[in-house]
């Protein structure tokens, strides 16, 4: 099954439908919760909260490419007044402020369109309204 085939199969679960799940006999012979029966159990996924997670190697590069792409018109990023002199040239040698706050990682700025470019199908991405990036653990994080 291809990556898209897996996403199509997961989409059926996530979109809130009734799916049949195979039940298996407990390995210890006691029968378990299903009393030792085998067969199919219908499960309604409408009120189940699904959380997807992954490493997404290369997603940061996709986000960075989108963020650094020059825009036109209203989408164009303008430089602040401190960076541009009256003739439009970049000011050199002016006092620079040190920003102690770290810039957010590229992955933290990911949008749905970036996940689609990464290879996820739009129908699958649309079922997850929130995107959250987790910070790497280091010695300072406790």
In the chain, the percentage of residues whose pLDDT exceeds 90 is 39
pLDDT digits (tens, 9 = 90+) for 2-53: 789 999 989 988 988 898 989 887 666 555 555 556 789 999 999 999 998 9
Across the chain, mean pLDDT equals 77
**pTM across the whole model:** 0.63
Distance CA 103, CA 68 (A): 15
118 or 90, which is more confident: 118
Residue with tokens 């620079």: 96
């Amino acid at each position: 099954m291809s990556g898209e085939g897996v996403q199509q199969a997961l989409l059926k679960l996530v979109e809130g439908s009734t799916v049949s799940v195979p039940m298996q006999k407990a390995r210890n012979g006691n029968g378990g919760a299903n009393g030792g029966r085998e067969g199919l159990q219908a499960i309604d996924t409408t009120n189940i909260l699904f959380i997807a997670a992954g490493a997404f190697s290369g997603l940061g590069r996709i986000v960075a490419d989108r963020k650094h792409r020059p825009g036109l018109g209203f989408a164009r990023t303008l430089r602040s007044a401190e960076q541009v002199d009256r003739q439009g040239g970049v000011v050199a040698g002016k006092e620079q402020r040190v920003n102690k706050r770290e810039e957010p990682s590229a992955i933290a700025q990911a949008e749905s369109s970036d996940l689609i470019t990464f290879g996820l199908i739009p129908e699958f991405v649309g079922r997850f309204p929130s995107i959250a990036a987790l910070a790497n653990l280091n010695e300072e994080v406790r």
